[in-house]
Structure formats: structure tokens, C-alpha cells
Chain A
Amino acid sequence: MYRYIIRRLLIMIPVIIGVSAVVFFLIRSIPGDPALILLGEHSSEESVEKVRTQLGLDKPKFIQFFYFLYNMARGDLGRSFLTNELVKIEIFKHFPATLELTLCSMLFGSLVGLVLGVTAATYRNSIIDYLTTVISVTGISMPIFWLGLIAIIVFSIKLHILPISGRLDPTITFKAKSGLIILESLLRGNFSVFKDAIYHIILPAVCLGTIPMASIARMTRSSMLEVLSQDFIRTARAKGLPARKVIYVHALRNALIPVVTVIGLQFGGLLGGAVLTETIFAWPGIGRLSVEAINARDYPVIQGCIIFFALIFVFINLLVDILYAFIDPRIRYD
């Protein structure tokens, strides 16, 4: 098992170099001189040249790439053109918001998806089953940016139940050291902040979690149907075990493997979807940071955000693979 994990970690190195190369050369191919953007159009040629040398832009692209890799390995992703802040600081400032949002979406997507899938498979060809199929097919095709806008119209503007945007009400002053407002307010026992944070995260999390929910419901249903038709389930039933135990203990555990794959794969979509969801709900995460950086042509931040997202995605895929071995003892990667 450990050998497998180490091997997978080693395989990640060329993938990370590849990802960095793709992002580096894509960003470098954007028309326009970064030094000129940094200094403004009316700066002197001399100062532009000086900044170009400082940024290493006067060197050949391949040399620049090796410098970039070297700096990245030391955790240095450059400075934002806009705020002059270190890119890694910008990312760490915005990451907790994205983490909180994606985890809540995944929680919503997995729980609702699993319950829907299991119920649909248990009551096959019933109204619940048909309804689940409709929900999952529609959910997969859902433009989440539209769903977000409709949710705002219905729940914020018409019904006034949930807030339109942000992580907390502007009147609340709460400094979360970790940036994770929900977790920290709960641990510190500040329940009014906790309640407000939960209110704020419901709409974006449900929106972002819709597509994973649909995929998980679908996969759980088909995987459960396959498991429920197997002999050991018949044996469990024949032994007189209660139906609930047969379904949730015997069947679900065996049906979970493909579901875990889908959950892992959905994380990628979730990270991408975060860009759209954060834009709609003015959620101060990395997704919104990247869109603002693109609009402001803040290249180091665009580069840093995309590489960071890709690294998280690669890492999650590795975690999913390792998780398989724990869920299914038949799988061992030696």
C-alpha cells in the first residue's frame, strides 16, 4: 500500500511539471507586455526595460520556465500586478472560502445523491424511481450559473429567506483566523455567526452541488441495482435480516466503489463550477479571484490560481484511488 502511494506521488511530479508548462506557456502567449501592464501605458521605455529585466522577461522562454519551476518549488508564484501582494498569499487568503463552499456542496451532493439513488433502486419502477431519474438527468444538464440566478430571484428577492451574496452579513464583524468561518464560529461557540454563515452558504452550495448530486444519484442507483440482484443479498434476506440492514449495510457498502469514483471525478467539475458559482454569489474564493485576475490581466494571479486548482485536482484523484483500497479490501495495488 505504501509503495503504491509513493509510486503514485512520484508519477504526480511529471504531471505537475506538465501542468505548469501548459499554464506557463499559455499565459506567456497572451498578447501584451506584462512589464508595460505593470507600469501603465505612459511609463518610460527605460523603466519598462528595467522591470522586464527584474521579472526575467528578457531571457528566452525556456529559461524563464525553469526559473518559474524553481520558484514554484520554493512556493514562490510571483506577485500580483494589481495589489503587489505575493500570489501565494492571495491564494491562501481566498482558498478557505472556496474550500468551505466546495466541501459543503460535496456534502449536499453526496448525501442527497446517495439517499435518492438508494431509494430509487430500492423502489425500482416506482414514482420515486422515475422522479430520481428526471432529477438526475436534468441536474446533469443544468447550467449552474442560471440555477444560481433563479435561486436568487426565488429565495432572496421574492421570498426573502436567504441572502443574495457574500459569506456573512456586512454588519457582522467576525475574524476567522483559519478563514473557515463555519468551522471556527462553531468551535468558538459563536452561534449567531455560525447561523448567518450557514444561511449564506446554502444557495451557493446547493447550486454548485446540483451536478454532483445528479451524477451520484444516478451512479448509486445503477450500482445498487446491480448489487441488489446478487446472491449474498438474497442470502441476507433469507436469513431474516431487516430490509434496512440489508440495504444500508450489505448492499450500500458494496455499491459504494463506483460511487466513490464519481464523487472523486465530480470534484474536478466542482472546482471548475466554483468559478461560476463564486462569480454569481460574490463569494470571495479562488474562482472569483481568477475571474477578476483575468479581467484585470493580472497574469501572475491567473497563473497561480489555475496551477493551484490543477494541483488540488491531481491530489484529489490520488486520494480517491487510495480510498478504493480502504473501501474494497479486494483491491490492493502491490
Chain B
Amino acid sequence: MKKVFKVFKNKAALAGFLIILFFVFIAIFADFIAPYDPYEQSLYDRLQPPSKKHLFGTDDLGRDILSRIIYGARISLAIGIISVALALGIGASTGLVSAYYGGVIDTILMRLFDVMLAFPTILLAIAIMAALGPDLKNAMIAVGIVNIPTFARIVRASALVIKEQEYVMAAYALGQSNFKIIFRHILPNIVGPITVQASLSYGGSILSAAGLGFLGMGAQPPTPEWGAMLSQARSFIISAPWTVTFPGIAILLSVLGFNILGDGLRDFLDPRLR
């Protein structure tokens, strides 16, 4: 626990953590914080500029933008959790297996990931979305899949170093099972790089999913997802620029939070990079 607090001596990591904490807080307590129902339409209040009644103004259907952004935090955090969990789960296990067993398994898996890495990420996500169909759940899956190779590579590289350590040899000599060696001796020692990558990927996933939402391939209306909100607000940038401004700031801040926490963690875990 003491070690966890030491991370926050790094001001950037602390700032990132506080930003994330803020978004987690509004996501959890959205029902109590949001002044209006995010789906409630009011034709009399269409495209109202920011005022005391509606702090961030209203959209073309008269919905309160602040409330939609607050509820949108839930969606964005969920996108991050699910896509990173998917990428981490599959990426880390394949990376571990690849490093531990080597040989043909390693070659096949790494060539497969080479192919995946040959695509610019958002394009691969778009191709997957074209196959799965436009939907928030599918966007999470697509963003998760495109992040698998990055996790696999990082885990493999770290595991290859740990695998050669004497205590792993000792565990092998003592006759422990491969499963136990991988998950009890190798995995705990590569948590550092995995954590850093998870934080950086979390921000990237929010950004990619918002991009998909913006292109109309992610969350569909009336879901208050920030990227989809921007996409719907595009037609009103001349008459109601506030409809575009606030969802974008929310995306920027949340991604920024995860990115600077990731940077801080990396500095903390690998002081050579400072």
C-alpha cells in the first residue's frame, strides 16, 4: 500500500489519478448529480445556450448537455474497462504462452500479431465494426481486439526476461507445473509494464471508441456517448457551438487523465526513463 502512495509523489501521476477519480465519481453518482434526465426531450428548450438553467446548454432535441455528459462518463469508463480487459486478458495470456513455450506457438502467434499491427488501429477497428455492425457493445469489442497485439508484445518481451531468472529455473527444477510457473512466478513479476500499458490503452480506447461513435459506427442515438454526441452536434456548429464544445472537453480530459497517470506510473516503475 505504501508503494501505491509513493507513485503519487509524482505530481503528474497524482493529477492523472485525480482526473480519473473525478470521472469515476460522476459516473457512479450520475443519478444524483445530473440535473436532468439525459434522455428527456423538451422541444421548447431546443438548442439553448449555456445558462443557469442548463449550465452546458441543450442539444437539438432540448436535452440537457451537462446531464448527458455526466451519464456519458459511465459509458466511456465502461468502454475502457471492457476493451482493456479484453485486450489484456487475451493479449497477456497469449504473450505469456508465447514467451514460455517459444518455438512454433511463439512464431505463429507473433506472425498473427504482426499482421494485426500492419493495420492502423482505427482502421482495423472500422473493418471489425463493418463486420459486427454499428453498436456500442461491438465498438468495445473492436477496440479491445485491436489492442491485443500491443499487450501480447509487451508481456512477451517482459516474460522472456523473467523466464531466464534463476527462481523460475528453480521452480521448474522442483517440478512445478507450467501453469503454476507462468501464473505464480512469471506473471506477478511483469505486473509493472502491464499496468502502465493498461493505463495508456484505457485512454486510447476511450479515444478510439469516441472516434467510432463520431463516424456513426459506435454507440447509436439516443445513447449519451461523447463521440456520438459530437457526431449529432456537427450539424449545429454554426448555430449552437456549445453542443460541440463540451462533449469534446470531456473526451480530452478523461483521456488526458489516463495518459498522464500512465506516464507517471512508467516513470515510477522504470526510473531510467525519467
Q: Is the beta-carbon distance between B131 and A149 smaller than 8 angstroms?
A: no
User: Is A143 within 8 A of B114, CB to CB?
Assistant: no
For B105-120 the 0/1 string (1 means CB < 8 A from A) is 0000001101110111
How far, in Å, is A20 (CB) from chain B's closest CB?
9
Nearest B residue (CB) for A314: B118
- Contact yes or no, A30 B118, CB < 8 A: no
A145 at the interface (CB under 8 A from B): yes
- For the complex, what is the distance from the CA of A141 to the CA of B122, rounded to whole Å? 15
**Chain A residues, CB < 8 A from B122:** 272-273, 275-276
A56 at the interface (CB under 8 A from B): no
CB-CB under 8 A for A313 and B119, given A141-B252, A149-B248, A294-B126: yes
Bound Cα distance from A207 to B189, whole angstroms = 40
For the complex, is B77 an interface residue (Cβ under 8 Å from A)?
no
| A259-280 to B contact mask, C-beta < 8 Å, 1/0 | 0000000001111110110011
Q: B215, A19: Cβ atoms under 8 Å?
A: no
Docked-complex contact A150 and B131, CB < 8 angstroms:
no
Residue on A with the closest CB to B114? Answer: A15
Instruction: From A19, A21, A140, give the contact of B119 (CB < 8 A).
Output: A19
Given A22-B116, A141-B256, A143-B255; A275-B126 close (CB under 8 Å): yes
Main SS class of interface, A: helix
Contact, CB under 8 Å: A268 / B121:
yes
- Interchain nearest-CB distance for B138 vs A (Å): 12
Residues of A near B207 (CB, < 8 A) are 141, 143
The verdict on B214 contacting chain A, using a C-beta distance below 8 Å, is yes
Given A19-B118, A146-B230, do A26 and B256 touch, yes or no (CB 8 Å)?
no
Q: Which residues of A contact B128 (CB under 8 A)?
A: 26
Q: With A141-B259, A146-B248, A149-B237 in contact, is A269–B214 under 8 Å at CB? A: no
B102 interface residue, CB < 8 Å from A? Answer: no
Chain B residues 213 to 234 lying within 8 A of chain A, measured CB to CB, are: 214-217, 227, 230, 234
Interface centre among A23, A146, A290 (most CB of B within 10 A): A146
Q: Is the CB of B111 within 8 A of A295?
A: no
Q: A272-B120, A313-B119 are in contact. Are A30 and B130 (CB under 8 A)?
A: yes
Q: Which residues of A contact B92 (CB under 8 A)?
A: none
> Is B127's beta carbon under 8 Å from chain A?
yes
B64 interface residue (CB < 8 Å to A): no
Shortest B126–chain A CB gap in Å is 7
| Interface flag for A302 (CB, 8 Å) | yes
Which residue in B215, B234, B255 is a CB contact (below 8 Å) of A291?
Answer: B215
Report yes or no: A309 in contact with B131, Cβ–Cβ below 8 A. no
- B18 within 8 Å of A (CB atoms): no
Find out whether the CB atom of A141 lies under 8 angstroms from the CB atom of B116: no
Beta-carbon contact of B255 and A141 below 8 Å:
yes
Shortest CB–CB separation between residue B133 and chain A, in angstroms?
7
Cβ of B140 < 8 Å from any Cβ of A?
A: no
Given the contacts A18-B112, A145-B211, A138 and B252 also touching, CB distance less than 8 Å: yes
A251 CB within 8 Å of chain B = no
Residues of A within 8 A of B12 (CB): 137
Find out whether the CB atom of B111 lies under 8 angstroms from the CB atom of A271.
no
**B238 in contact (CB, < 8 A):** yes
Cβ B238 vs Cβ A157 within 8 A: yes
CB distance from B64 to the nearest CB of A (A): 20
Kindly state whether residue A189 has any CB partner on chain B within 8 Å. Answer: no
**Chain A residue with the shortest CB-CB distance to B146:** A272
Question: Per-residue 0/1 for A40-79: is the Cβ within 8 Å of any B Cβ (1 yes, 0 no)?
Answer: 0000000000000000000000000000000000000000
Q: Which residues of B contact A30 (CB under 8 A)?
A: 130-131
**B131 cross-chain contacts in A, Cβ below 8 A:** 26-27, 29-30
CB within 8 Å of B: which A269-321 residues: 269-273, 275-276, 279-280, 290-291, 294-295, 302, 306, 309-310, 313-314
Lowest 10 CB-CB distances: which A-B pairs, in order? A146-B248, A18-B115, A272-B120, A272-B122, A141-B255, A141-B256, A268-B120, A26-B131, A143-B251, A271-B120
Q: List 11 A-B contacts (CB under 8 A).
A: A18-B115, A19-B115, A30-B131, A143-B252, A146-B247, A149-B230, A149-B234, A294-B126, A306-B123, A306-B127, A314-B118
Chain B residues close to A by CB (< 8 Å): 12, 111-112, 114-116, 118-124, 126-128, 130-131, 133, 203, 207, 210-211, 214-217, 227, 230, 234, 237-238, 241, 244-245, 247-248, 251-252, 255-256, 259-260, 263, 273
